[in-house]
Amino acid sequence: MSHPTAPLDARHLRPAGRATRAAIEEAGRRLFGSHTYEEVSVRAIAAEAGVDPAMVIRHFGSKEALYLRSIDTSLGVGAVIDGPVETLGRRIIAYFLDQRDSPIGKRHAGLVQASYRQQVRAELNRHTRVRFVDAIAPRLAADDAELRVALMVAQLGGFLTMLFVQQDPLITDADPDQVIVLYGDSLQRLITG
Amino acid sequence: MSHPTAPLDARHLRPAGRATRAAIEEAGRRLFGSHTYEEVSVRAIAAEAGVDPAMVIRHFGSKEALYLRSIDTSLGVGAVIDGPVETLGRRIIAYFLDQRDSPIGKRHAGLVQASYRQQVRAELNRHTRVRFVDAIAPRLAADDAELRVALMVAQLGGFLTMLFVQQDPLITDADPDQVIVLYGDSLQRLITG
DNA sequence: GTCTATAACCAGATAGAC
DNA sequence: GTCTATCTGGTTATAGAC
């Protein structure tokens, strides 16, 4: 009989592990990319990847951990930030108003929904610091530049939540150009006096 | 023996129904008042009220419906809004910075967390209109007053989320007076040019 | 017929045995 | 690496008491 301890030949540990892990990560990226945190179940990810639900946990520890790996917290805003700071306000609002039918809205909604989780919060704070504060504050003259940028992120977040989550018709149905001017300039004044 | 059909005296239908219903609502108000939507379970509400979990659903239809009844969406901001519009920006920020150790933060966090639910969103939008737009816009000169107030609500919401949910140290550890001036004036400029 | 309560159902997340 | 069991949570079916 095959003794359990020592099969010398069964040394093909295989790409087995790697393949399923990759499949799970890929499935997570697809689902979390276009659906909200709560909308995506571990079972759904497993089904999409063609593996058992337990594998998801086994490989990533938790649904939250996989979520953190899968999501792009930047929402694609990098290029906008790299542009001139003097016009950042209007450009960033215009950018997001342009994403209304893209999956970015869903992604933001997912982040908001998941933000009560400690690790997600930590990642968002890290993101604020790296992508916004460190990228923008050095380009500003004010000595309270870091606080100004952090407050700008707060203000921007409020807009995104209103646009993508709360979807108040007062704003979603408003003239985009008017919103760009009003809110964009408000953002702008916060960072550049 | 006591026949089941006809006790003429047993006409004390009593506060029976009313009493449990009230107890459940009271328990919901207590728990939702200081905890997040997801943190509060139907079972916990039932235990607090001393009734069976099924009663919660039977009387209110769903956890979400009870939540909507229990929560005070105004976050106590009414008095601040009723003050002079010319200084609303700084006053409203000062008010919320002052609530850091009150349950209001938890309440806001709960609202954010629950805002992916359609009915909660609808209630929040209604609240925006009634408590903010209808209360403030008529006192402004601008012809785009309604949009300005709606955008101000978005901006305020971003601040509250940063303060109470995300709790970014860049903002929670900042000098409150500085925040009041920077963000308060930013809010102010949005509504009064 | 209305109020209550027990139990059960279903989905979700995760731990543990094989 | 796979499946089963467990735990929690929202909700429903259902049967009994008034």
Report pLDDT digits (tens) over B27-50.
999 999 999 999 999 999 999 999
Residue range A140-148: mean pLDDT, rounded: 96
Instruction: Report the sign of the C-alpha dihedral through residues B97, B98, B101, B104, in that order.
Output: negative
Residue range A88-114: mean pLDDT, rounded: 93
Q: Which one of A38, A113, A146 has the shortest CB-CB distance to B170?
A: A146
Sequence ranges of chain A with CATH classification 1.10.357 = 78-192
pLDDT at B5: 31
* Residue/partner pairs of A114-117 with CB below 8 Å, 24 or more apart: A114/A37, A114/A64, A114/A67, A115/B112, A115/B161, A115/B165, A115/B166, A116/B36, A116/B38, A116/B109, A116/B112, A116/B113, A116/B165, A117/A64
Q: Which one of A150, A158, A166 has the shortest CB-CB distance to B115?
A: A166
pLDDT at A18: 75
Sequence ranges of chain A with CATH classification 1.10.10.60 = 10-70
Residue range A69-81: mean pLDDT, rounded: 92
Lowest mean pLDDT: which of A90-104, B16-30, B60-74, B149-163? B16-30
Residue range B64-84: mean pLDDT, rounded: 94
Per CATH, the number for A78-192 is 1.10.357
The answer to whether the Cβ–Cβ distance between A121 and B174 falls below 8 Å is no
**Partner B contacted by A121 (CB < 8 A):** yes
Predicted TM-score of the model (pTM): 0.88
pLDDT at A17: 66
* Other CB atoms within 10 Å distance of the CB of residue A55: 19
- Report the percentage of chain A scoring pLDDT > 70: 91
Contacts of B120 in chain A (CB under 8 A): none
pLDDT at A16: 54
Give per-residue burial for B120-137: e unless 16+ CB within 10 Å, then b. Answer: bbebbbebbbebbbeebb
Mutant choice from A93, A148, A160, A168 vs B, greatest count of B C-beta within 10 A? A168
pLDDT at B112 over 70: yes
Residue whose token pair is 């305020």: B156
pLDDT at B11 over 70: no
Where does the pLDDT of residue B148 fall: very low under 50, low under 70, confident under 90, or very high at 90 and above?
very high
> Which residue of chain A comes nearest to B120, CA vs CA?
A166
pLDDT at A11: 33
Residue range A170-190: mean pLDDT, rounded: 98
**Partner B contacted by A156 (CB < 8 A):** yes
Residue range A164-172: mean pLDDT, rounded: 95
pLDDT at A1 over 50: no
Q: Which one of B148, B154, B168 has the shortest CB-CB distance to A150?
A: B168
The answer to whether the Cβ–Cβ distance between B148 and A121 falls below 8 Å is no
Residue range A163-185: mean pLDDT, rounded: 97
Residue range A81-110: mean pLDDT, rounded: 95
Residue range B115-131: mean pLDDT, rounded: 92
Q: Which of A70, A69, A98, A71 is nearest to A180 (CA)?
A: A98
Tell me, what amino acid is at B161? Answer: T
Highest CATH level, class, for A10-70: mainly alpha
A79 vs B6, residue with greater confidence: A79
The answer to whether the Cβ–Cβ distance between A155 and B155 falls below 8 Å is yes
What is the spatial distance, in angstroms and rounded to an integer, between the CA atom of A54 and the C1' atom of D6? Answer: 13
State the average pLDDT for chain A.
89
pLDDT at B16 over 90: no
State the average pLDDT for chain B.
90
pLDDT 10s digits, A8-17: 333 333 345 6
Q: How far is CA B105 from CA A112, B80, B172, B188, in A?
A: 16, 17, 13, 22
pLDDT at A38 over 90: no
